[in-house]
Amino acid sequence: MAVAFTFPGQGSQAVGMGKDLADAFPESRKIFEEVDDALGENLSKLIWEGPEETLTLTANAQPALMAVSLAAIRALESRGFSLKDKVAYVAGHSLGEYSALAAAGFVSVADAARLLRIRGNAMQATVPAGEGAMAAIIGLEQADVEAACAEAAKGSAKDSVCQIANDNGGGQLVISGARAAVELAAKLCTEKGAKRALMLQVSAPFHSALMAPAAEVMRNALAEVTKNAPLVPVVSNVSVTPSSDPDAIARRLVEQVTGRVRWRETVEWFGANGIATLYEVGAGKVLSGLARRINRDIATGAVGTAADVEAALVALA
């Protein structure tokens, strides 16, 4: 099998996403109802009507993006598609790993929604607003970015955290940590020749050591849910290796909270292991764009709308 499914992370959300799936497929609408029931609120209304600033909040965006991805999967399955038969691996960018795992049956949709709400709240609460930051570094070698982070990471333990959070490929790295350290590292990256060093409008320093308390929250939360072997192996963000072992997957989800999202390496791994096509399942086409910059030999497709579902069913028949 030469197909892998990937699932988008935070930043891909948009008001109205998934609405045409829910309108076209009863099975997709049921996913949104399941998520609403699991969270005890009408998240679907927020997804489809906004306001955007409320949807963008971490605690809302994470389960919302998962809901759209699973709605797309259910639409495919309603027409006879089998993930186990047609897809070799799944992977997701940050929160998208939970979407991938729910699609593969590792956890139920309801548990995935609750876990992502817990994850979003924990990540937001761990660092007071304004104390953490993230920055995108464009066009600088990883070694130079790591050197800038190391140089900026001086001072007290709390103020010295600065590390690469995302290796997105295509010359894009994201750094995360204490605000002062990240701002200094961004300045140093510019001096080292980065094309751009852009401070990001995010609510917390995700995927940094400052998220350690949130990692413990997730360790406890994951211990409370039923976990199954996924239908297809998931390629982990932090290890870039496939696994079907529930305990190993749970450990990697905990490590992911503070660890680097190794997306460039993930796409490279797919290319080295026979994957010819990557489908991005859910909202937006961010991962498809990254994949094309990382490995032009891998074809990309999207499954985020009813029309996409019909096209994918033909291509994957």
Which residues are the active-site residues?
Answer: 94, 207
CB–CB of 266/290 below 8 Å?
A: no
Amino acid letter at 237? N
Tokens standing for residue 108: 């139920």
How far from 27 is each of 14, 118, 255, 281, 304, CA to CA, in Å?
21, 26, 33, 16, 15
Q: Cα separation of 268 and 261, whole Å?
A: 14
